[in-house]
Chains A and B, each alone.
Chain A
């Protein structure tokens, strides 16, 4: 019993080690310039993961990451709603955690592997690809603008375009993968 417990514990630790850095990076962006704590967001997501770990532990990395992302997004939206009611002096209403289309977003993205994502990035137009990579490496808009010698606003547009193209490139694959899954089962 103790061994089983230890094994589960080690698995969950590994799970945290694997997903925490990327999740925390995202949480920091969401909580930038606000009183929200990135660590709080991440911790709450992992607390939920711990409760659901029995189901989560055997899923793919992509699926687990998508699940964590959805959960953390829900926490973040809860926070935004709470801020809004508080700022208006309204009483706390029951927080609606299940937002719009959350299931669909998660289901779409949990089928995309990191390899497929990397291939999709390769297929972007060169300036969009390079801008996106620089941004993914942690560069701010102004640094990327300086790199390409373009206005900051242009960088924003490029990144928006890059993301739109990535989605277009990846989501047909998602549809194919879903069909394949349905056929094989």
Chain B
């Protein structure tokens, strides 16, 4: 009878010459047989000596694929990574370097750049992460969007990153693959810093949580005013909220930091936004001017038709009320006010028209004409000091309001700003409130209170958008 101890079983086992079943039986036998265990110890010492002395490769049986248990799918990251980490030590490195990384106090292993999609030739999202490896400048190519999502995240380097508590690095790896949920979870474990706040803002931005994103970026910039990624991302948030002018200003700051690639891109973005804004302003003013001329001209107009473009009609209505020189002229505007109130709810515009119709046009008419001149000669930047002074002393506060908004006087003149705000607060018209707010914010900006101003602008823009498409929110820029 063949027992495990006979027939050179021990040698066959150590030489890998037993079948899987025989090998398994022998391993079980080993634990119960002192003689075999002792023989194994001796034999292994001899074979190790042989390997060292004769320098040959030890014979190895064909590797057996061991199916990963299903439970591996739910093993916590740490345990799973540890497993992968060990088994993935590449055989090719067996000459020595392989062991590097196995031990804590050794040179930390290089994390392969593939973790952060080193081979990518374009960015799939616009925002910038703080991790240097994830913040290489590449052309932005949104249409190639999800191609990286399927790119496998190598787990071994992730384990190493986790070991180093580089949660920001892990979050960046996930973010680059579009896994924002994982990215957010890992960022939660990162200690507070400007970088962390920036990366959290990128997550918020990806989820269209713009106000939260701006708050985080403000926090990042408070810690580091020249945080390139935070400045860049702030520009994106502001742009998403249609605050193109502020977005361009933030891109300008990024451009001034002189980063390779990013600087030129930021300059290009800023220029693009300014062009877009300038074009929209020109188009907007032409539309409003055309509608205003229609309302104040001799030719008949149709209120319903004009109200089909409520934003333009509303702006033109304010200008028309401010510039007509007779009670009849004002009353003729009533149908449009009614149409627009129907769209916006309430009766603010009808009330406004009724109230102006009661004014003394002997006193109002010259001021209305002066204001009309201001509108016509907008581009000539004619000195409006005298007109503003006359308006300030007159009781025609709505015209004074219009003139202050047009000339931007409230930005530099505190008294004018008070007057502007006073008038807005005295009316229930939300658009006038927003305009007064805008002038106030411009003053903050001029004083260098950028963060506060941008927060207020975001709030104003939110309020404006909440009004429905009845007021020109773009004018908040």
Contact = CB atoms under 8 A, between A and B. Distances in A.
Co-assembled chains A and B: yes
Contacts of B43: 163
A69 B44 contact: yes
Contacts of B75: none
Given A9-B107, A69-B44, A81 B57 contact: no
A102 B54 CA distance: 24
Interface string B366-396: 0000000000000000000000000000000
B49 A25 contact: no
Interface string B84-96: 0011010000111
Closest 5 CB pairs of A and B: A17-B96, A25-B58, A32-B61, A137-B56, A16-B99
Given A66-B45, A77-B37, A33 B23 contact: yes
A99 B41 contact: yes
B355 interface: no
Contacts of B87: 37, 39-40
A176 interface: no
Contacts of A57: none
B78 to A, nearest CB: 16
A157 B8 CA distance: 7
Given A29-B16, A39-B89, A163 B11 contact: yes
Contact of B59 (A83, A87, A139): A139
A80 B27 contact: yes
17 contacts: A13-B99, A13-B107, A21-B96, A25-B51, A33-B64, A35-B66, A69-B44, A73-B44, A81-B31, A100-B37, A101-B37, A105-B41, A117-B49, A136-B54, A137-B57, A138-B60, A156-B17
Interface of A: 5, 8-9, 12-13, 16-18, 20-26, 28-30, 32-35, 37, 39-40, 43, 46-47, 50, 61-62, 65-66, 68-70, 72-73, 77, 80-81, 83-84, 87, 99-102, 105-106, 108-109, 112, 114-115, 117-118, 121, 132-133, 135-141, 156-157, 159-160, 163, 166-167
B96 A20 contact: yes
A17 B95 contact: yes
A26 B48 contact: yes
Given A66-B45, A112-B49, A118 B54 contact: yes
Contact of A166 (B44, B46, B105): B46
Interface residues of B, number: 59
Interface string B33-49: 01001101111111111
Interface string B1-45: 000000010011011111110011001101100100110111111
A117 B47 CA distance: 11
Contacts, number: 206
Contact of A118 (B40, B53, B64, B96): B53
Given A33-B16, A118-B53, A138 B96 contact: no
Nearest to A163: B46
Contacts of B18: 33
Contacts of A81: 31
Nearest to B89: A39
Contacts of A23: 48
Contact of A34 (B17, B24, B52, B62): B24
Contacts of B44: 26, 30, 69, 72-73
A59 to B, nearest CB: 15
A80 B30 contact: yes
B72 interface: no
A50 to B, nearest CB: 6
A114 B3 CA distance: 34
Contacts of B48: 22-23, 26, 65-66, 68-69
Contacts of A16: 96, 99-100, 102-103
Given A13-B106, A80-B28, A140 B17 contact: yes
A13 B11 contact: no
A46 B89 CA distance: 14
B3 to A, nearest CB: 16
Nearest to B9: A156
Contact of B41 (A50, A101, A121, A167): A101
A39 B86 contact: yes
Contacts of B185: none
A70 B62 CA distance: 25
A26 B47 contact: yes
Given A20-B99, A28-B58, A29-B58, 4 more contacts: A30-B44, A34-B23, A66-B48, A114-B52
Contacts of A47: 102-103
B103 A50 contact: yes
Contact of B52 (A65, A133, A139): A65
Contacts of B40: 73, 77
